[in-house]
Structure 1
Amino acid sequence: MTDTAATANDAQRARLASYVSDLGVVRGRVVLSSGKESDYYVDMRRVTLHREAGPLLGHVLLDLLEEQGLGPDEVDAVGGLTLGADPVATAILHAAASRGQGIDAFVVRKEAKAHGMQRRIEGPNISGRRVVVVEDTSTTGGSVLTAVKAVEEAGAEIVGVVVVLDRATGAREVVEAAGYRYFEALGLTDVGLA
């Protein structure tokens, strides 16, 4: 990694942080999917599905993975638990494609469908492939570990977990204790919440 690349991604991360702060942060008492209460909610779909922020997110995460030694030769696919991970994975897929890199995306359902193909994981086959599990925000690590379990059951090798925004409430420690590398694009300080 060169200093120029680091500076470019730092500027992109700062732009992404502005989008998260401006579009995604909602103040007020909420109950998170983990069951914990919070004084704010970060609605990442307002960011990940935004016409400018979504594509930017893909490049920020792709650069983050490359900074951590997970370039296009080390990652075959990205995906995670629906719904939050879906636009994150597709943003990375499109960023990679714009650079001539072949990274697929997949979706992990909370449970297999009872009809149709009855799949738990949608998209290209990930068996025997190196994957990064993605998540939009992480609180306890529970959602991402649900996806990790399904991905491993499908026969994929998990080379990392990446989240857009880490809430600094223990997810990193839980995921790393389970034996996985954990990367975050942004923390609470980056978006003015700490």
Structure 2
Amino acid sequence: MVAMTSAPFASALLAEHDAAATRLRELILDLAVEHGSFTLSSGQQANFYVDMRPLTLHHEASPLVGQLVLQMLDAAGIEFEAIGGLTMGADPVATAVLHTAAAHQRAVDGYVVRKQPKGHGKGRQVEGPSIEGRKVVVVEDTSTTGNSPLSAVEAVRKVGGDIQAVAVIVDRDSGAKERIEAEAGVPYLYVFSKDDLGLE
């Protein structure tokens, strides 16, 4: 089992005025965070809502996501050969990371986990290059309850993927980390905490 870590990644970078982390934080606050009164899918009430799709599919933000997620995984000592997660929140995150890795001559594949196995053909739930017997990371843009990453973990393990960590861009501090580490038995890493973004 991979050693657990709870150290927030971006806090140190922001303290050092890292340009990539500072700019991605600005873009998250501009593109992904809405303030108001919201009921989350978990039924919880919140005075802010984080919709990461406008961020992860943004021309400037996507390369920063790839850079910072890869940098975070490297800093935590996570070795992996493939990255992906439950469609569709994970898809642009994984794609950003594999393109960043390729730019540094690193062979990282992507994979996509369908919400349900395909109803025809080979009936696959996990698409992409085979991850059987390979070290993989499960990603998500953000998680409230941990449901999406845990669904991906279950599907990946069924096809023989060796999960090293679950990684998200934004942690809402709403119990996902604790649940994922308890149920999946792997580290849960995040680039930005709720506090890093100044969200209450």
With normalisation by structure 2, the TM-score equals 0.88
In structure 1, distance between residues paired with 2:86 and 2:49: 19
Hey, what does 2:19 align to over in structure 1? 11
Of 165, 173, 179, the residue aligned with 1:168 is 173
Secondary structure in 2 aligned to 1:190?
coil
Aligned residues: 186
With a CA cutoff of 8 Å and minimum separation of 6, indicate the structure with the bigger relative contact order: 2
Q: CA deviation at 1:113?
A: 1.4
Of 179, 185, 193, the residue aligned with 1:187 is 193
* Stretches of structure 1 lacking an aligned partner (at least 5 in a row): 1-5
Give CA deviations for 1:79-137 in whole Å, capped at 9, x if unaligned. 11111000000000100001110101111111101123321011111111100000100
In structure 2, distance between residues paired with 1:122 and 1:131: 14
In structure 2, distance between residues paired with 1:36 and 1:145: 19
2:161 is equivalent to residue 153 of structure 1: no
With normalisation by structure 1, the TM-score equals 0.90
Instruction: Report runs of 4+ in structure 1 exceeding 6 Å deviation.
Output: none
Hey, what does 1:133 align to over in structure 2? 138
In structure 2, distance between residues paired with 1:172 and 1:40: 19
Of 49, 62, 86, the residue aligned with 2:70 is 62
Could you tell me the percent identity over the aligned residues? 51
- Residues 27-176 of structure 1: pairs in structure 2 closer than 5 A: 27-70=35-78, 74-176=79-181
In structure 2, distance between residues paired with 1:112 and 1:10: 41
Q: In the alignment, is the contact (CA less than 8 A) between 1:9 and 1:63 conserved in 2? A: no
Matched residue type, 1:38: A
Q: CA deviation at 1:141?
A: 1.1
In structure 2, distance between residues paired with 1:50 and 1:186: 18
Distance 1:115 1:103, change over 3 A: same
Distance 1:111 1:53, change over 3 A: same
Q: CA deviation at 1:158?
A: 0.4
Matched residue type, 1:16: L
In structure 2, distance between residues paired with 1:9 and 1:81: 32
Of stretches 177-186 and 7-16 in structure 1, the one that deviates more from structure 2 is 7-16
* Stretches of structure 2 lacking an aligned partner (at least 5 in a row): 1-11
Matched residue type, 2:196: D
Q: CA deviation at 1:144?
A: 0.8
Hey, what does 1:3 align to over in structure 2? none
In structure 1, distance between residues paired with 2:186 and 2:94: 18
Distance 1:59 1:21, change over 3 A: same
